Amino acid sequence: MEYAVLVDPAKCVGCRACQVTCKRWNNKPGEATTFSNEWTNPPKLSFDTYTHIKFELEHDDNTRNTKWRFFNWRCMHCHDPACAEACPVGAITKHEEGPVVVNSDKCIGCKFCVSACPFDIPQFDAERGKVDKCHMCYDRVPHKEPACVQSCPTDALVFGTRETILQKAKDRKAELNGYIYGDVDNKPLGGTSFIYVLDEDPSVYGLPEVGENLPQTVPVIKYSKWLLIPAALGGLAYLVSWRRRRMMEKEK
């Protein structure tokens, strides 16, 4: 059975409990941080930060109204993950329950997944030579919800079977008169296991517009090896003609 998580930024208060719990569950270290104009730390996802809360401040000069948008960001766990397709060593797998997981024992740090992901999720660590990202607590699902969901105090993150979550997303969308991102006409990438219900257009949250199918680069990476067939045939033809020419020269 496939599971999913509903992300409701309108309910998020930016406490970052999900961020902290994620680190604790995965035994990830804290990172040295500095002041930046991101309003939050660490400023973005990294090899050691699977989950990140984005802080966005919206200010209307005319009405002098200020609005905070807090927004949970990590791997979307796509139905057809571009990262898994691009990985040359099969180190990324899509689990039946929904999670897309990187097997670090297999990862060779080629970073093809980093390039392929339209959401810019997989994070490379130069020192370890590996890529890592959120694995949707595949070691807990389905018996227990992901650690981030368990820690959320405002139900901005809700875990359940995919059907239930989709239904909840639709209900909430009607309530907010908003938008769903993650499973509209199988976009992006066949639908995702993290589904957003938003009060504004996804572009306001900086969510990229990703199509139903894999990015064009992935089939190129996968199928260009078939060019070895004409290469082998061409090479063979060349060797045959070279040998024939040599034989003729010898005869002369």
Residue 151, token pair as written in the block: 């820690």
Nearest to 72 by CA among 213, 160, 197: 197
- Asked if residue 185 binds other proteins (CB under 8 A), the reply is no
**What's the min distance (Å) between Cβ of 228 and other proteins?**
7
Q: Is 228 in the site for other proteins (CB under 8 A)?
A: yes
Rounded least distance, CB 102 to other proteins, Å: 11
**How big is the site for other proteins, counted in residues (CB under 8 A)?**
44
**DSSP β-ladder status, 194-198 and 179-181:** antiparallel
Q: Does 243 bind other proteins (CB under 8 A)?
A: no
The answer to whether 128 contacts other proteins (rule: CB under 8 A) is: yes
Q: What minimum distance in Å lies between the beta carbon of 1 and other proteins?
A: 27
Q: Which is nearer to other proteins, 114 or 184 (CB)?
A: 114
**Which of these ranges, 16-24, 114-122, 162-170, 191-199, lies near other proteins under the rule CB under 8 A?**
114-122
Going along the chain, which residue ranges are E strands?
3-7, 52-60, 65-73, 92-94, 100-102, 123-125, 130-132, 157-161, 179-181, 194-198
Considering only the stretches 19-27, 66-74, 164-172, 234-242, report the one whose residues sit in contact with other proteins under the rule CB under 8 A. 234-242
> How far is Cα 173 from Cα 105, in angstroms, rounded to an integer?
41
124 binds other proteins (CB under 8 A): yes
Pick the closer one to other proteins by CB: 105 or 185.
105
Alpha carbons 46 and 61: distance in angstroms, whole number: 34
Q: Which residue has the tokens 């993950």?
A: 81
Which position among 4, 7, 76, 86 is part of the footprint of other proteins (CB under 8 A)? 86
Q: Which of 31, 58, 96, 125 is in the footprint of other proteins by CB under 8 A?
A: 125
Query: Per-residue DSSP letters for 220-235?
Result: HHHHGGGGHHHHHHHH
One residue of 220, 240, 243, 244 binding other proteins per CB under 8 A:
220
Is 119 a binding residue for other proteins by CB under 8 A? The answer is: no
Residue 27 beta carbon to other proteins: minimum distance, rounded to whole angstroms: 18
- C-alpha closest to that of 75 among 115, 119, 111: 119
CA distance 72 to 196: 10
Query: Interface residues for other proteins in 142-161 (CB under 8 A)?
Result: none
Per-residue x/- track, 27-66, other proteins (CB under 8 A): ----------------------------------------
The residue behind tokens 């090896």 is 225
Cis peptide before 188 (omega within 30 of 0): yes
Q: Specify the DSSP element, H or E, that contains 243.
A: helix 228-251
**Bridge-partner residues for 187, per DSSP?**
184
Where do contacts with other proteins occur on this chain (CB under 8 A)? 86-91, 104-112, 114-116, 124-129, 215-218, 220-221, 224-225, 227-228, 230-232, 234-235, 237-239, 246, 249
